[in-house]
Amino acid sequence: MNLCESRTLVNLMRAFAGECQAHARYYYAAEAAKHQKLPVIQQAFQYTADQEYEHAGVFLKQLRTAGLENVDISAGYPVDLETDALALLRSAQHGEAEERSILYPDFARVAREEGFEPIAFLFDAIAKVEGTHSDRFAELANLLESGQLFSKGGGQTRWVCLNCGHVIEGPDAPAQCPVCQHEQGYFVRQEYALFTR
């Protein structure tokens, strides 16, 4: 089948549009988290947003192979009505879960039926990444909701300052980093910090 006449072409454009919007929505969510003094949530949104931007690029590369200058679509996309960090995390968690288990598996199935196996592989692979996004947002939302984002509630754990890298052990993240003086919102449990294990 020619890509220009396929449902896969439309699905690629829907996916491209969705990834571009996720990239933007997560940067807006990051800004909101920053205003709520939650730089750790801000950074999680930015880190994930940058991956969505790369997913958009993967889909755009495939779209270019059709050689068309315009592709029409009709699709619905989420609007984040609430702007507090917890609501944004939950909304992102659910959107990612839908991509992982419904949207991209469906796009992969159609691509396979139409004979575009390499594109089916990309939809499947990116579905798995969205699964890790959903899990990340769920975990952070659970910690925030239960008051455990900066408190282990007993026992010791290691906390890393995302600003200066200072590591401190204790049941709670300090109110302020003793090294760089940045607020508690910069602290993250060591198991969630990149490159510090």
Between 52 and 114, whose beta carbon lies closer to Fe ion?
A: 52
Other CB atoms within 10 Å distance of the CB of residue 64: 10
Record the tokens describing residue 115, joined without a space: 């004979």
Long-range contacts of 166-173 (CB under 8 A, 24+ apart): 167/196
Shortest Cβ 100–Fe ion spacing (Å) = 8
The reply on whether position 52 binds Fe ion by CB under 5 A is yes
Nearer to Fe ion, 55 or 187 (CB): 55
- Taking the complex as a whole, the smallest distance from the CB of residue 155 to Fe ion amounts, in Å, to 32
| Residues 120, 114: Cα–Cα separation, whole Å | 10
**Please, what is the minimum distance in Å from the beta carbon of residue 88 to Fe ion?**
14
> For residues 140 and 168, what is the distance between their CA atoms, to the nearest angstrom?
20
Site string for Fe ion, 3-32 (x = CB under 5 A): ----------------x-------------
What residues between 59 and 78 interact with Fe ion by CB under 5 A? none
Any idea which residue has 């990834």 for tokens? 19
Site string for Fe ion, 106-145 (x = CB under 5 A): ------------------------x--x------------
Q: Cα dihedral sign for 92, 44, 194, 139?
A: negative
Q: Is the CB of 25 or the CB of 32 nearer to Fe ion?
A: 25
- 47, 14, 5: which is closest to 30 by C-alpha? 47
Q: For Fe ion, which is the closer residue by CB, 118 or 153?
A: 118
Q: Cβ distance 117 to 111 under 8 Å?
A: yes
By CB under 5 A, name the binding residues for Fe ion: 19, 52, 55, 96, 130, 133
